[in-house]
Each structure stands twice: as structure tokens, then as C-alpha cells.
Amino acid sequence: MADRNLSRPPLGRRLRLCLGFRVPDQVEEAMEAPPGPLRLRCSAQNYDWGRFGEESTVARLFEGNSGSQIELGRPYAEFWMGTHESGPSFVVASPEAAVAESECLAPGVVTLKKWIGENPGALGLKVVQKWGKNLPFLFKVLSVAKALSIQAHPDKELARMLHMMRPSVYKDPNHKPEMAIALTEFRALCGFVSIEELKDVLVGVPEITELIGNEEASKIICSKNLDGYLDTKALLRSIFTKLMSASKEAVLQLVSKVKDRLDVESKIRTLTEKEQLVLLLEKQYQADVGVIAAFLFNYVKLSPGEALYIGSNEPHAYISGDCIECMAASDNVVRAGLTAKYIDVPTLCSMLTYKQGFPEILRGVPIYSYVSRYTPPFDEFEVDRCLLPPKESVVFSAIPGPSIFVIVAGEGTMQISSPAEERKVTLGNVFFVPAQNEIRLIAGAGAPIHLYRAGVNNRVFG
């Protein structure tokens, strides 16, 4: 039987011969049977906003994944799983690996990007047709001790332009919609507050009104009905742009006034959560315009298992906590505050949608026992969350696209349908699972397994 299968032409070639039309080479390659799961060695980023030592989920995952000892005095901010060149993952060759015979693995490791380029069938036909020989998503874990920058990610058209103009800053021509799923209590700023809340801000934070001008503020404060969405958008854009474009001297004075006022008022009343956040940000980023800009954004507090998705051209800043993050395969960021990195205020202010209102919170939809799915409105990705009790098992059915699995807690066994094999899994293990592989996980007796799977949004295969 094995000899007969090996002697037959590949499926793509057989279709071409039978149907009499040319099948593109990359599509033909994607029709070939993919191999089994691959263990990955992943990258960690040590940005200064990361959590230190063993307090960092990223640090613990990196230690389990690489065997490297945690450096207690070093921040561990992001754990990257995917093919992006800024933090590549590597395929680890081992005697157990289903692809051990691949020549590219002879030295021991090869980047996942290179491996996929040589084995595009692992992506599945529809993924290759839509994105070529590229993994369309980037999977991460974040551990946030200090607020990240106020930022937004460009849409595809703007990303291409920025990459062409400043490739050293904007690393690729892709957009970067993203989603964060809380592992711990997680705090973020996301999107602009509603028009009613904006009125309250302009009344309650007189320092902002002083900076942008009474006439501008009065248009919002005194209005009963703004004449349609465009007027609201134009006014908000004008206010935000004036604030973010203020001189360093004006910002220094503004932040100082707000801090002094809140310090005094805290002695006679309980400050709001937003006011307390502003004081925290001032400690982290003195004299930064982002401290004041926080008043204009929604303050989002996620409990473990809750998720937030962020589209292109939407402002946001992660504040604290650990999370799973998935996004389109890009590292493009336009920053304008709460950072010492390069800022591009004109680009950020011009690119935003200025959509107002509290963002949608996802809580996952159960798809079978112990597994919930988070499905954002983006083709590139979806994420499954699995909390598997001790000794229980769960089956992830074969799907027509690739997946990445990460074990964030616990240990157990992974069984692979074809070829039939079994592997032990533990904290920090990461696997790239090619299309059409069924995976069965069994939790050990001592503790539950907590894992996440990232894959292409199932609507692509619908």
C-alpha cells in the first residue's frame, strides 16, 4: 500500500492531468499531505515595560520553552510565536519529530518561516490562496508592568505607504489588527470615550479646556445635539490633535497642574479610577502628553478569560497585567505618547477613525467541553482557550488551516492522529500544527492544563 501511494503523482498534478487545466505551483504544493506537529523554540523580548523575573508569565514560558534560566533583574515583556523576522520561532529537530527526515532540519533548527516556505502544504489550500506561503498571524504572550505607548496600527494602505517611506521604523507593509485575552487582571486604554463622557472630561479637567481653548470646548460642552457623526468626529479630532501637538513646555505645565490638583483633591474626596490611573501614569512617564490624553480614552478592565479586540487605526495602550495576544503578522506601530521611542504625532492624529464608545468585550464561545473560542472580525486569526481538568482529555479536530498551541500551565500528553504518536507536554511547550492534523490532549493527574490555540479565522474556510 505504501509503495502504491508513493508511486502516484501528487494530488495537485493528478487534478491538473484529469481536469486539463494548469494548477498554480503554490496551490499544487499546498495540496500535498502536511506533516505532523512541530515543536518550536520561540523568542522573548525584554522591553523595559515588561515584568521582572519569575513574576513574569513571559519569563516562565521562555524558561520552559528554551531551557534558559530566568534572569531575576531583567524584564520579560513579550513571548513571540510565529514567523515575523523581529522575533522568529525555530523548528526544533528531535528524534520524535514527525518531520525529522527533512533535510533543512539536519543542523538541528530552522526558522518556522523557512520551513513553511519549503512546506506550504502545512498551511492548507485556502490559506495559500489568500496569503501565499506566509503564516497570516503572529501569536504572543505579554507581561506588562508599566504602561505601553499610546499607539495605533495602520490599515493595509497606510502600512504600505509608511513602510515605503520609513522602512527602518515601519518594518513591514501589513496591517495589524489584534486581540488580547487576559491571563490575569488586565488593564488597558482603548478607543475614545462617548460624547457624553467627553463633555464630563472637559468640565472636570479644566486644564484640558485651558489648553485647547474655551471656544473649542464649548462646542461640545454646550451642544445638545451634534449635527451627525462627521461633526462629532471633526470636533474630537481637533481637540485630540491640539492636545497631542502641544509644546513640551505646555505639556509640562499641564501635567504639573493636573497632578497638583488631584493630589489636593485626593485628601477631601475619593478620586475616580481614571484620575488614579492618570496619577500612576505620571509616575511612570513624567511630563508626557499621554498622561493627560488618558482622560479621553475608555479605561478597560479585563478579568481572566475576557478579551478585547482592536481594529486598524484605533488608539490604545496596555497598562498592566498578563495576556495572550494574537494579531495579523505585522510589527507596525504608530506611537504618540507614554514612550521614549520614536513618536509620530501627525501620522497618528490623521490616521485614527475617532470612533467613540466602549469597546466590545469577548468572553469566548464554548465550542466543546473545556474549550472556548474568541472570534474577532478579522480573517487572519482566532484563538481557542482550553482549561482541561486533571486526567481529562479533549480533541482538537483536524482543520484546513495551521495552528500554534502554547501550554501556559500544567502538563500532560499530546496524541497525534497521523502519524500515530504521543508526546509529553509541559509549561512553555509551543507547537506548530499543520493543516489537517487532529490533536488529542490529556491532562496529567496533578494539575489542570491551561493552553491556547491560535489559528486562521474559521470564516475563511466557510
Annotated catalytic residue: which of 39, 51, 187, 335? 335
**In this structure, what C-alpha cell is assigned to residue 436?**
489537517
Query: Considering only CA atoms, which of 138, 52, 66, 36 is closest in space to residue 423?
Result: 36
Residues 6+ apart with CB under 8 A from 198: 192, 220, 236, 296, 356
153 a known binding residue?
yes
* 84 annotated binding-site participant: no
Rg (CA), the chain: 25
Q: Report how far residue 297's alpha carbon sits from residue 356's, in angstroms, rounded to the nearest whole number.
A: 9
The SS3 of residue 327 is: strand
- SS3 of residue 181 by DSSP: strand
Give the whole-angstrom CA distance, residue 382 versus residue 359: 18
**Which residue, chain included where needed, has cell 492534523?**
437
- Give the angle 197-200-203 at the CA atoms, nearest 5°: 155
Burial 240-275 (b: 16+ CB within 10 A, else e): bbebbebeeeebebbbebbbeebeeeeeeeeeeebb
Residue linked to cell 506550504: 120
Q: Contact at 8 Å (CB) between 291 and 283?
A: no
Catalytic status, residue 60:
no
- Separation of alpha carbons 462 and 460, rounded Å: 6
Instruction: Calculate helix-pair angle for 214-221, 195-204, nearest 10 degrees.
Output: 140
Is 85 annotated to bind a ligand? Reply is no
Element (H, E) at 60: helix 57-66
Nearest to 346 by CA among 202, 162, 126, 188: 162
Sheet of 393-396: strand order equals 393-396, 439-443, 411-416, 421-426
Contact at 8 Å (CB) between 135 and 123? yes
Asked whether 407 and 428 are in contact (CB, 8 A), the reply is: yes
| CA dist., res. 108 & res. 291, Å (int) | 48
Active site residues: 335
Residues flagged as binding site for Zn(2+): 151, 153, 178, 316
- Binding residue ranges: 151, 153, 178, 316
